Amino acid sequence: MRTSSGARQFGLVILFALGYCCAVVAGHLLSFKSLAFATFWPAAGVFLATLALTPKKQWWQYLLAATVLNLSMELLVYRQSMLPSLLFVLANAIEALLGALVLQRWSIGAFQFAKMRDVLVLAALSLTMPLLGAVIGTAGVKLIEPTTNYWQIFQLWWQADSIGILIIAPVQITLASRILQLESRPSFSGYGRTLEAVLLFISLNVATWGAFSPYTNSLVWNLNSLLYLVPVLAWAGLRFRRLGAAIASCNILLIIIYHTTRGDGLFALASGMPELQAMSLQSFALVTMLTPLLFATAIDEQRAAEDRLRSNLSILQTVMDNTTDLIYVKDRAGRYLLMNRAGAELARRPVHEIIGLRDVEVLPPEQADHARQRDQLLFAAGHALTYEESGQYEGRKFTMLTTKSPFRDAAGEMIGLIGLSRDITQRIEQVEALSESERRYRTLVTSSNVGIYETDRHGLTLYLNPRWAELTGRPAESGEGEGWIDSLHPDDRVPVNEAFAQTLRTGAPFAMEYRYLTPSGGVTWVYGTAVPIRDDLGAVTGYLGNVIDISDQKRAVIELQLSEERFRRLADSAPVLIWTTTLDGRLTYCNRAWLEFIGRSLEKELDHGWLDGVHPNHREQFLRDYVEAEQSQSELSLEFQLCRADGEYRWMHLTGAPKLVGSDEFRGFIGSCFDITDQRRATETLQRAKEELEHHVAERTAALQEANRQLQQLLIERARAEEQLQQQQGHLAHVSRLSVMGEMAAGLAHELNQPLFAIQNYTAGILRRWSSPEDCRPELREVISQIALESQRAAVIIRRVREFARKQIGERIFISLNTIVREVLQLLGSELRQHKVHVILSLAEQLPEVHVDLVQIQQVLVNLVRNAIESMEALPAPLRHVTISTFLGAGDVHCLVQDSGPGISREVRRRLFEPFFTTKREGLGMGLSISRSIAEAHGGMLQAEDLSVGAAFHFSIPLTEDPLDDARVDRTNRVLGG
């Protein structure tokens, strides 16, 4: 698990605290016992190096830790008084803080001990920064021992901190740089390198102990041993760089300081005074520490420079060898001093053979002479020249872009030239090809039969080709900018503009159908598309689009839609089941007869939903036959069982013809279905009869009698069929008689109008003569008034009977359906009273008028009310109710006639509107069929409603006239005999 930055920082502060404590203890231990302060103070080096390697925002943590530790140890461990201890702590903190600021300002961040100038800066800092600390520290010592020499204490304090910084700081900073990988580490792999490090460590310790051990009291021996330290330190700096030199010097000085402070070694032999020994030791430490560091740093810088030079040369050689450009260097005599691999490959020679040769020895004569002239021009100009040159080499034409620059020595004298040549033959060819392509593109755009345009990234039109002007009937210049919007049809301007604005915002392609409105008023349908133009970064810089004239296709689509609408109307009015499918057998259309037969919605039948109605035993064979016909594109003819709305599976005969488009392109089937259940049953009956007849004839003579009996039975059924035919003919004759009776009723109504008119006139004359109350009694006057009213009512009734019986062809008027209902009830008033039927009216208020044939709609209502009266004959009089309701629908007016009779069975409901089908003993079976035809001729409908009690018939009439009504009226009049 990776530790957090806070925990890591806390650990570094604890590590510094431990190191600082050890450095303070070591400083007190490695001191002359007769002196009141340390001769060598390693804590100064630890404190300064830690701050130099740490960001300034974290310094307060180390300052706090060092201050608390140093003050605690001075007070508790070394028993110093408070004021000197505070001065000692202040001196250490100030010199560490100022030194770290200087080092970080010098290196701009964490200090890296990497170059000679860094060593010199650290050395200078170790000599200057302790001066301020020595002033403060000496003041603290004077507080403890006032009799001591100030300048002697100042020098010893200053040098103690200086050697502490020089000994500890380089080791700590160098180790931190290696651990943090701020610089490369020396390789210690292999036994030889490890053995060398061990020998170096042993040599250092032997030489140091020889010069400063307590067992050698010979000055000559000590001096000789001291001289041996010099090559060992040089060895450490040369082989192990700055880290080795710093560790080696630190090792030597710690040994020297240890023995010297205990009265042993060279400095103890040279003087018996501790102050003099300490100064000599400090001076020797400064020289000993700086010498190997400077030597190792100089070697490191030289090695780094050599490494950089080798790296730069390697990079230069790699670039030259891997570039496709020709790079070469010549002297003033024209001899090649340097040549890269690309130039050598072009000259068909190795690089080493070209070096030292002139152009005339490498290039063809004409090109060599041209190159020499260019070189002389460069030497004369004294600055770089760039030019294109063309030529032919080994049968290949080329064009080079050449740049030649002066090659100067350190004194600035021109001693040659540097050449760089790039083969731009392919680029020239590409530019020429691009120019030719642009010319062809302009020609194509100008002569294209498609309107082409270009916009900027804001959608402003920049270019429009001539075809666009032809489509819009406007000059191409008028459509530039936002002018193209004016050419759009007014109804399309807003949606097209919004769609194109959305395209500009998203950077997506644009595609849409819209219209142009020409100045002459013509409309042109087009299909417009546009794709974004993007730069190298993928940003949209504009759009390139085209518009295609689709007016012919639009007209064809509209005609096709009208054709489909006509087909659907024709198919819906057909008595057979009509359907169409696609290539893969998916149902796309079925007519109303199909939906009524199947009892399901169109949505459930589409696609492969129609297969749910096919009998499971026939479905697999049906699909095989269908696939075979589809593959052969032949006529489809098969028989199968299809589930009717009542759940009965009926045998259907299906025929289908291939739909061929264009050049005999197969698009599926169109076909129809007929219910052949009755035919199959008859055929099966005849087949079984034939089989039985043949079987019985073959077995015994008695089979003949059975066959005769069956034949007689068939004759009887035929006679019954003929009888039914005669009955139907009688029904037709009845219809004819009804027609004659209507004509007679019309004549009778005309004849009755004369006496009724006379009655009205006489009663009116009597009432005028008896104008005053004294002329007659009130009772007699009331009777005469009632006679006048009843005669008027009888005249109205006779007039309506006459109008009902009269034949009229398509005479329509605007009238309220409520008015028609009230007139029919007056017409049937006597019949309703005779059968004791109570009428309940629920008529909508303010019902809009409809455009109808009054007599035909009256006939529909008369048929429905009479059927309701006849259905309630078996009920007691109080239970006979007829409810007539009118209400306004969505675009049409509705009328509902509901009775309280026994209702209609499912079998009767299925055949309710078939001509000549009736459940009455004396009925003709034409009333409901004619009524439905009348309703449909008016653009409405008539249907029976499902009720738990009684029966209800519901018809509607639209408020707007259907353009197909005329044809339907003609057909209805023909059915009614009009």
What pLDDT does 975 receive?
39
Would the pLDDT of 215 be above 60?
no
Per-residue buried b or exposed e for 181-198, using 16+ beta carbons within 10 Å of the residue's own CB: eebeeeeeeeeeeeeebe
Q: 461-464 and 636-643 as β-strands: parallel, antiparallel, unpaired?
A: unpaired
| Contact assessment for residue 148 and residue 101, using Cβ atoms and an 8 Å cutoff | no
Question: What are the CA-CA distances from residue 489 to residues 493, 495, 522, 837 (Å)?
Answer: 6, 11, 10, 64
Exposed, middle or buried by CB within 10 Å (0-12, 13-18, 19+), for 863? buried
Per-residue buried b or exposed e for 613-630, using 16+ beta carbons within 10 Å of the residue's own CB: bbeeebeeebeebbeebb
Q: What angle do CA 531, 534, 540 make, to 5 degrees?
A: 80
Positive or negative, the Cα torsion across 748, 751, 755, 756? positive
Q: How far is CA 497 from the centre of its chain?
A: 23
The token pair at 408 is 């100067």
Amino acid at position 599, single letter = G
Q: 838-842 and 881-888 as β-strands: parallel, antiparallel, unpaired?
A: parallel
Nearest by Cα to 833 from 880, 886, 798: 880
First to last CA, the chain: 102
Nearest by Cα to 933 from 971, 961, 895: 971
Average pLDDT over all residues of the chain:
75
What pLDDT does 962 receive?
46
Classify residue 486 by its DSSP letter.
Answer: G
Nearest by Cα to 881 from 872, 890, 894, 891: 872
CA distance 87 to 136: 6
Report pLDDT digits (tens) over 106-125.
776 666 666 667 767 777 77
* Residue scoring higher pLDDT (80 or 463): 463
CA distance 393 to 367: 9
Q: Which residues pair with 524 in a beta bridge?
A: 516
The token pair at 939 is 């653009």
Report pLDDT digits (tens) over 547-582.
888 888 878 777 777 777 777 777 677 677 887 888
Q: What is the mean predicted confidence (pLDDT) over 655-664?
A: 73
Q: What is the mean predicted confidence (pLDDT) over 392-397?
A: 66
Q: What is the mean predicted confidence (pLDDT) over 320-339?
A: 84
Q: Which residues pair with 707 in a beta bridge?
A: none
What pLDDT does 957 receive?
92
Residue where the block lists tokens 């064979």: 621
DSSP string of 773-819, one letter each residue? GGGS-HHHHHHHHHHHHHHHHHHHHHHHHHHHHS--SS--EEE-HHH
The token pair at 86 is 């505070």
Name the percent of the chain lying above pLDDT 70: 72
Q: 813-815 and 665-675 as β-strands: parallel, antiparallel, unpaired?
A: unpaired
CA distance 391 to 411: 37
Report pLDDT digits (tens) over 458-501.
888 888 888 888 888 888 888 888 888 888 888 888 898 888 88
Classify residue 74 by its DSSP letter.
Answer: I
Residue 383's CB is within 10 A of a number of other CB atoms, namely: 8
* Residue scoring higher pLDDT (809 or 234): 234
Report pLDDT digits (tens) over 355-367.
888 888 888 788 8
Question: In three state form, how does the secondary structure of 711-736 look?
Answer: HHHHHHHHHHHHHHHHHHHHHHHHHH
What pLDDT does 868 receive?
86
What pLDDT does 969 receive?
45
How many Cα atoms sit within 13 Å of 462 on the Cβ side? Answer: 11
* Residue scoring higher pLDDT (624 or 975): 624
* pLDDT tier, 301 (very low <50, low <70, confident <90, very high otherwise): low
What pLDDT does 292 receive?
66
Residue 330's CB is within 10 A of a number of other CB atoms, namely: 23
The token pair at 120 is 């010199």
* Residue scoring higher pLDDT (334 or 444): 334
What pLDDT does 793 receive?
66
CA distance 87 to 70: 11
* pLDDT tier, 967 (very low <50, low <70, confident <90, very high otherwise): very low
Would the pLDDT of 2 be above 60?
no
Residues 6 or more apart whose CB falls under 8 angstroms from that of 54 comprise 62, 100, 110
Q: Which pTM value belongs to this model?
A: 0.33
Q: 385-393 and 396-408 as β-strands: parallel, antiparallel, unpaired?
A: antiparallel
Nearest by Cα to 645 from 613, 609, 604: 613
Nearest by Cα to 339 from 409, 421, 395, 402: 421
Q: How far is CA 7 from the centre of its chain?
A: 45
* pLDDT tier, 803 (very low <50, low <70, confident <90, very high otherwise): low
The beta strand positions in 286-367, using DSSP E, are 326-331, 336-339
* Residue scoring higher pLDDT (279 or 139): 139
The token pair at 441 is 């593109």
Question: What are the CA-CA distances from residue 824 to residues 821, 839, 926, 936 (Å)?
Answer: 5, 12, 20, 20
Q: What is the mean predicted confidence (pLDDT) over 637-664?
A: 80
Exposed, middle or buried by CB within 10 Å (0-12, 13-18, 19+), for 590? buried
Rg (CA), the chain: 62
CA distance 258 to 214: 11
Q: According to DSSP H, which parts of 363-488 are helical?
A: 365-381, 425-447, 466-472
Nearest by Cα to 15 from 65, 82, 87: 65
Residue where the block lists tokens 């007829």: 882
| Contact assessment for residue 857 and residue 828, using Cβ atoms and an 8 Å cutoff | no
| Contact assessment for residue 239 and residue 185, using Cβ atoms and an 8 Å cutoff | no
Would the pLDDT of 64 be above 90?
no
Report pLDDT digits (tens) over 138-164.
777 777 777 777 777 777 777 777 777
* pLDDT tier, 897 (very low <50, low <70, confident <90, very high otherwise): very high
CA distance 883 to 963: 33
Would the pLDDT of 251 be above 90?
no
* pLDDT tier, 766 (very low <50, low <70, confident <90, very high otherwise): confident
Residue where the block lists tokens 């759940």: 647
| Contact assessment for residue 848 and residue 813, using Cβ atoms and an 8 Å cutoff | no
DSSP string of 889-900, one letter each residue? -SSEEEEEEEE-
Question: What are the CA-CA distances from residue 711 to residues 679, 684, 697 (Å)?
Answer: 19, 16, 14
Q: Which residues pair with 589 in a beta bridge?
A: 580
Would the pLDDT of 796 be above 70?
no
What pLDDT does 971 receive?
42
Q: Which residues pair with 422 in a beta bridge?
A: 401
Query: Which of 105-109, 514-518, 747-751, 911-915 holds the top average pLDDT?
Result: 514-518
Residue 909's CB is within 10 A of a number of other CB atoms, namely: 14
What pLDDT does 109 receive?
61
Would the pLDDT of 405 be above 60?
yes
Q: What is the mean predicted confidence (pLDDT) over 187-192?
A: 53
172-186, 467-481, 657-671, 747-761: least confident range: 172-186
CA distance 228 to 207: 6
Would the pLDDT of 958 be above 90?
yes
DSSP string of 164-232, one letter each residue? HHHHHHHHHHHHHHHHTTSSPPPP--SHHHHHHHHHHHHHHHHHHHHHH-TT---HHHHHHHHHHHHHH
Q: What is the mean predicted confidence (pLDDT) over 314-326?
A: 77
Exposed, middle or buried by CB within 10 Å (0-12, 13-18, 19+), for 238? middle
Phi, psi of 791 (to 5 degrees): -65, -40
